[in-house]
């Protein structure tokens, strides 16, 4: 048995009130997502009986607690209340991101500059901090299992994404950090992936032994610096890829279906599970 603790977070970044156009282009409808939509998805995910640590603001904490309580899982849930998604020691990152996003040298090269990761600094930052939250949960003694996963708060889009057992248990190699990719990395430069939104690794989920999460956090920080030095910023998908490029031996990739071809990519709890 390989029990896995799930770490996730929800912070309202105002995605329900995004503009209809950015830089003269229509914002894709799927990037508009209300708070109610996030909680609708989480209500499905909340049925998973694994331990769960959730980072959020005070106004959302009770709602998250009550959803888990509906399924009798309040005792397997730890909620960490924060004043905002952005820890004080990391506020300097926002200015760095905003400067690049406002630069014509950056967005002028981007194929789809209206996509949220190319202009919304808060969205980029909250994605960067996924490894930060997991590491914080581990260092705070909130994680009791060896395997620990980051799973996006809105990961489960339908009940089909939940196994019948309601339990997630899988024998991931504990010596590796596990990423989930749409396609093998073909050695194209990171600039190509970032500027063309060419997605290799899905950012919604990462699994690793708790002793490897500080390594993951360090790699994410280094990847942010690497991209910044190239005049680039990206969300988690670009940072996961840069981390893999920097130290591929640390990772194991698991290929999943690509949503761009009409497939459901939210297969983690069913495809990688000993208890379907």
Show the tokens assigned to 30: 């799927």
Return the pLDDT at 213. 98
Tokens of 145: 């299992």
How sure is the predictor about 176, in pLDDT bands with cuts at 50, 70 and 90? very high
- Compute the average pLDDT of residues 195-219: 96
| DSSP string over 176-226 | SEEEEESS------HHHHHHTT---EEEEEEEEEGGGHHHHHHHHHHHHHH
Share of the chain above pLDDT 90, in %: 78
pLDDT at 259 over 80: no
CATH number corresponding to 4-271 = 3.90.550
A 10 A CB-CB count for 63 gives 13
- Which residue spans within the chain are E strands per DSSP? 4-10, 21-22, 25-26, 52-56, 77-81, 147-151, 177-181, 201-209, 251-255
Residue 90 scores a pLDDT above 90: no
Q: Terminal CA-to-CA distance of the chain, rounded, Å? A: 13
Q: How confident is the model at residue 1 (pLDDT cuts 50, 70, 90)?
A: very low
Largest Cα–Cα separation, the chain: 52
Domains of the chain by residue range? 4-271
pLDDT score of 22 more than 80: no
Whole-number pLDDT of residue 261:
65
The per-residue pLDDT for 218 is 96
| Mean pLDDT computed over every residue of the chain | 92
What span, in angstroms and rounded, lies between the C-alpha atoms of 117 and 235?
Answer: 6
Give the tens place of pLDDT for each residue, 23-53. 777 777 667 678 889 999 999 999 999 999 9
């Amino acid at each position: 048995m390989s029990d896995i603790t799930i770490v996730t977070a929800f912070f309202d970044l105002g995605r329900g009130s995004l503009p209809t156009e950015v830089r003269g282009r229509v914002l894709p409808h799927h990037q508009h997502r209300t708070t109610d939509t996030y909680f609708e998805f989480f209500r499905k995910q909340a049925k998973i009986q694994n331990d769960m640590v959730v980072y959020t603001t005070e106004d959302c904490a009770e709602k998250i607690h009550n959803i888990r309580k509906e399924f009798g899982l309040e005792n397997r849930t730890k909620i960490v209340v924060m004043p905002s998604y952005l820890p004080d020691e990391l506020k300097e990152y926002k200015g760095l991101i905003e400067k690049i996003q406002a630069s014509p040298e950056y967005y002028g090269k981007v194929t789809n500059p209206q996509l949220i990761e190319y202009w919304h600094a808060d969205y980029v930052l909250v994605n960067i901090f996924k490894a930060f939250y997991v590491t914080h949960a581990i260092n705070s003694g909130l994680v009791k299992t060896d395997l620990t996963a980051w799973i996006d708060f809105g990961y489960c889009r339908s009940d089909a994404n939940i196994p019948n057992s309601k339990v997630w248990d899988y024998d991931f190699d504990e010596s590796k950090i596990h990423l989930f990719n749409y396609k093998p990395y073909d050695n194209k430069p990171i600039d190509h992936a970032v500027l063309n939104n060419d997605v290799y690794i899905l950012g919604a989920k990462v699994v690793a032994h708790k002793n490897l999460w500080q390594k993951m956090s360090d790699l994410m920080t280094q990847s942010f610096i690497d991209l910044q030095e190239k005049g680039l910023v990206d969300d988690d998908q670009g940072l996961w890829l840069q981390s893999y490029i920097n130290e591929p031996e640390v990772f194991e990739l698991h290929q999943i279906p690509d949503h761009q071809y009409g497939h459901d990519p939210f297969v983690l709890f069913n495809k990688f599970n000993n208890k379907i």
